[in-house]
Amino acid sequence: MQNQSGAANLTGTTVVVLKENVAEAKKRIQSIDILRGTVMLIMALDHARDYFHIHAWDQNPTDLATTTPFLFFTRWITHFCAPTFVFLSGISAFISGQKKSKSELSTFLLKRGVWLIFIEIVVVTLGWTFNPLYNVIILQVIWAIGWSMIILGLLVRTNTTVIVITGCILFFGHNLLDYANLPKNGAVNIVWNFLFTSPLTFFPYAPQRVIGDIYAILPWTSLMLLGYGFGRFYRSSFDTAKRKQILLWSGIGVTALFIVLRFINLYGDPAPWSQQKDTVYTVLSFFNATKYPASLIYFCMTLGPALIFLAFTEQVQNKFSNILKIYGRVPFFYYVIHIYFMHLICVILFFVSGFGANQIVDANVPFLFRPTHFGYNLWAVYALWLFLIVVLYWPCKWFNQYKSTHHQWWLSYV
């Protein structure tokens, strides 16, 4: 009898868990998971190029004087990743806030922002560099997201209108600084770089120690604030057909704004396009928007198609979309482990290629085990990228299952 009772209890518990998982899956916005998963996979291509392409560190893939269309595309397609991810983080913050008071949401965003900044400096930097002495600290997208969450955490104590207006001012107005006479050195220059204008800058702060300021904070914050504003269209009471229409026309409008601003060539990017040696390279110049610091034209070029993608994947359900959703539901987990896994592969190939211990450190590259002249052609980079994302499917699937069946407080931070 006791065994039967225990079996019944176990069966009942299993049914409850399964029902909770189904309910959770229904509550999730499938199109957001699909888009997030897509950009997470594309993002890894750029990182594979950083680690494995023979010219990753002696040739700029967007320098039209030296690049090829294939190399340019390899870099350009990954431009869509960070803006989309930050924008979706804003939408997710709004959705999460539907179950919290303003005070609770503010506290959560502040804590998670501080946590992400810590992770960027301590965990992600180590993954990129494999340097336990932290001679180089790299501040990238997780850093920008962390600060953006802190700023959003403060602003949610006001109202959505204030958040959206602030986001619009930053989004449309930050390129006005291209025409400002800003300080060129000193503490004020450093502050401006960190907040607005860093063109991928390394600041020495001690002998043989530098901080790489890759992502200027406030332009990226604009995307999170606008994403939070778009979150209102994902309330359970909002009509699905109307949401799709808003997303589609917003995406078309933002894309059209990119084309108009880029064609006019007067505002929105510090590097205007120009006529090149042939039509192909002139087209590349037109699409060669500035990411460091992120320009208005860069944001419009990437965010417009992302909104259109959301509109068209609202009710997509197939085997491929189900795979993408696995990556999209555990983006932080995937982001961290893909860096470590990729660098580990780099270490193995470093020694297989005949490099020795005396070549682990290269003064021109912040990553250990990655000399300037190490690497392969682009086809090999694509093969290594595909291998990496396929292998990582199973740990991502496991962690997604773990998150759906466990409810510890710390899971909301990963």
380-408 residue pLDDT tens? 999 999 999 999 999 999 999 999 898 88
User: What pTM, to 2 d.p., does this model score?
Assistant: 0.92
Strand partners, 212: 138, 202
Taking only the tens place, the pLDDT of each residue in 176-189 is 999 988 888 888 98
pLDDT band at 5 (very low <50, low <70, confident <90, very high): very low
pLDDT recorded at residue 79: 98
pLDDT recorded at residue 411: 80
Taking only the tens place, the pLDDT of each residue in 243-298 is 999 999 999 999 999 999 999 999 999 999 999 999 999 999 999 999 999 999 99
% of the chain with per-residue pLDDT over 90: 83
pLDDT recorded at residue 27: 60
**Rg for the chain, CA atoms, rounded:** 22
* 77, 84 Cβ separation under 8 angstroms: no
Q: Please provide the average confidence, as pLDDT, over all residues in the chain.
A: 92
pLDDT band at 22 (very low <50, low <70, confident <90, very high): very low
Tokens of 339: 């860096």
Q: Which residues contact 319 (CB under 8 A, 6 or more apart)?
A: none
CB atoms within 10 A of CB 391: 12
Lowest mean pLDDT among 51-55, 195-199, 218-222, 370-374: 195-199
Print the domain residue range for 144. 2-413
User: How many separate domains does the chain show?
Assistant: 1
